[in-house]
Amino acid sequence: MANTKVVLQEDEIPKQWYNIQADMPTPMQPPLHPGTKQPIGPDDMARIFPMNLIEQEMSRERWIDIPEEVMEKLLLWRPSPLYRARAFEKALGTPARIYYKNEGVSPAGSHKPNTAVAQAYYNKVFGIKRLTTETGAGQWGSALAMACSLFGLECKVYMVRISFDQKPFRKMMMAVWGADCVPSPSADTQAGRKILAETPDTPGSLGIAISEAIEDAVTSENTRYSLGSVLNHVLMHQTIIGLEAQKQMAKVGAYPDVVIGCVGGGSNFAGLAFPYVRDKIHGKKIAVIGAEPHACPTMTRGPFGYDFGDTAGNTPLMPMHSLGHTFVPEPIHAGGLRYHGVAPLISQLILDGLVEPRAYHQVESYEASVLWARSEGFISAPETGHALAAVVEEAKRAKEEGKEKTILFNWSGHGLMDLVGYDKYFSGQLKDYALPEEDLKRFTAPLAEFPKPKGASNA
């Protein structure tokens, strides 16, 4: 048969997550307290996260067991299928073999639920009754809403007001799962009320929403905050993607020369890539490519240094590539790739030459996504389109070089909730945009005052 789809049975699913901290050539540098600028310890995070997740965040154990209660929920959509994209290969006329993991099969339509169910579970066993979070376009908010409903936790989502108003369907999803989703800034927090009083017409921002979610968590009973990317434990929860992929690829006797994922905070990329980065550390020759937008070129142009995770500067300082915590990206359709920073783990792997970042334009991303939909059927999320742009680049290179290389990428989610971007693409309204150098300088200038991690490239 001309197609290839590899599925795993329930009993073949990986039973542990992979913690790349056990294998990194350069150990991770600690996050710093936002006030004292000294390394923080577990207790500094105890009002924000439950201690069992803080322990995971700091753990250097290579393998961490997936609790049975988490596995039970993951099995609703996992193991996700691995496919060979033969029609797409044919459409590109490439000798490359292109494999992909389909993470769009989850109830929320992306990889996000992989960590959402784990976080909901750990909070629940720690005695937490309620989680708060922020969401921009709504992917993370809906994933956490779903996870909380499965574990019987309350969920409060602060959604950036402009998205709340423009994207009503994501908040309807959250309502189906029983979450309380409010536009941010809201009247429900001190931070929100202050901003509303000063600027009643503000469209809101992810930074404001984070501030509200954290304030709510630390001032409410039995409540903690949950983050959908960037942190070590979040990326680790996603490694089930790559661990499954390794088993599936082995079943068809394939091993990738190139592994690709799109990168916002970095969780879907890390999920597929980290088990392969482990192989690379141990000598495998393999390219590991993170694809980001030119409009938000965190990895390719953002300096490495300490920076805040949020706009207001309330989070610990993290050692990462950053465009500056006050960075405001142009409105591009890949809402999930508009974060100013990137996961510290990925930042360190870039420094160590284990991960190669590349930037792509949104028009070429949509171009790749349309070709994909018309050959492979599935409609990609705008974020996933950036991974596809990298796949197309690699496949074309293979064609030019006449090489039969094997490409594996993470099809991180479907675009059925984000069709407006396609509509604008077809009507020619989408514009490419690359961050001007002077803006990069302006947004990153304040970082010079922070302490410098080893390898810092901010002035």
CA–CA gap between residue 242 and residue 231 (Å, rounded) = 18
Q: Is position 103 an interface residue for its own copies (rule: CB under 8 A)?
A: no
Q: Is position 175 an interface residue for its own copies (rule: CB under 8 A)?
A: yes
Figure out which of the listed residues 7, 46, 445, 448 binds its own copies, where binding follows CB under 8 A: 7
Figure out which of the listed residues 225, 422, 443, 450 binds its own copies, where binding follows CB under 8 A: 422
How big, in percent rounded to 5, are the helix, strand and coil portions of the chain? Answer: 45, 15, 40
Figure out which of the listed residues 83, 158, 327, 450 binds its own copies, where binding follows CB under 8 A: 83
Amino acid at 16: Q
| Alpha-carbon dihedral angle through residues 33, 39, 42, 44, given to the nearest 10 degrees | -20
What DSSP string describes 433-445? ----HHHHHHHHG
Figure out which of the listed residues 46, 51, 125, 176 binds its own copies, where binding follows CB under 8 A: 176
Cβ closest to its own copies, residue 113 vs residue 297: 113
Residue 154 phi/psi, 5-degree rounding, is -75, 155
Annotate each residue in 139-158 with x if it binds its own copies (CB under 8 A) or - if it does not, as one string. -------x--xx--------
What is the 3-state secondary structure of 295-333? CCCHHHHCCEEEEECCCCCCCCEEEEEECCCCCCCCCCC
Annotate each residue in 289-328 with x if it binds its own copies (CB under 8 A) or - if it does not, as one string. ----------------------------------------
Cβ closest to its own copies, residue 5 vs residue 442: 5
Q: Is position 68 an interface residue for its own copies (rule: CB under 8 A)?
A: yes
* Total count of residues recorded for the chain: 459
Size of the site for its own copies (CB under 8 A): 54
Q: What contacts 7, CB < 8 A, 6 or more positions away?
A: 79, 81, 82, 248
Q: Residue holding tokens 């393998």?
A: 63
- Using the contact rule CB under 8 A, the part of the chain among 42-50, 101-109, 267-275, 387-395 near its own copies is 101-109
Cβ closest to its own copies, residue 10 vs residue 449: 10
CB of residue 170 vs its own copies: minimum separation in angstroms? 9
Figure out which of the listed residues 14, 31, 50, 113 binds its own copies, where binding follows CB under 8 A: 113
Annotate each residue in 177-206 with x if it binds its own copies (CB under 8 A) or - if it does not, as one string. xx----------------------------
For 398, the token pair is 């293979």
Q: Compute how many other C-beta atoms are within 10 angstroms of the C-beta atom of residue 162.
A: 16
What separation, in Å, do the N-terminal and C-terminal C-alpha atoms of the chain show?
57
CA–CA gap between residue 407 and residue 99 (Å, rounded) = 6
Q: Is position 379 an interface residue for its own copies (rule: CB under 8 A)?
A: yes
Could you tell me which of 345, 385, 378, 329 has the C-alpha nearest to residue 361? 385
- Using the contact rule CB under 8 A, the part of the chain among 52-60, 65-73, 357-365, 447-455 near its own copies is 65-73
Work out whether strand 16-18 and strand 223-225 pair parallel, antiparallel, or are unpaired.
unpaired
CB of residue 181 vs its own copies: minimum separation in angstroms? 12
Figure out which of the listed residues 17, 49, 77, 122 binds its own copies, where binding follows CB under 8 A: 77
What DSSP string describes 358-374? EEE-HHHHHHHHHHHHH
Figure out which of the listed residues 157, 417, 435, 456 binds its own copies, where binding follows CB under 8 A: 417
CA–CA gap between residue 44 and residue 36 (Å, rounded) = 12
Task: Name the residues that contact its own copies, by CB under 8 A.
Answer: 1-11, 68, 71-73, 75-77, 79, 83, 86-87, 105-107, 109, 113, 146, 149-150, 168-169, 172-173, 175-178, 369-370, 373-379, 416-417, 419-420, 422-423, 426
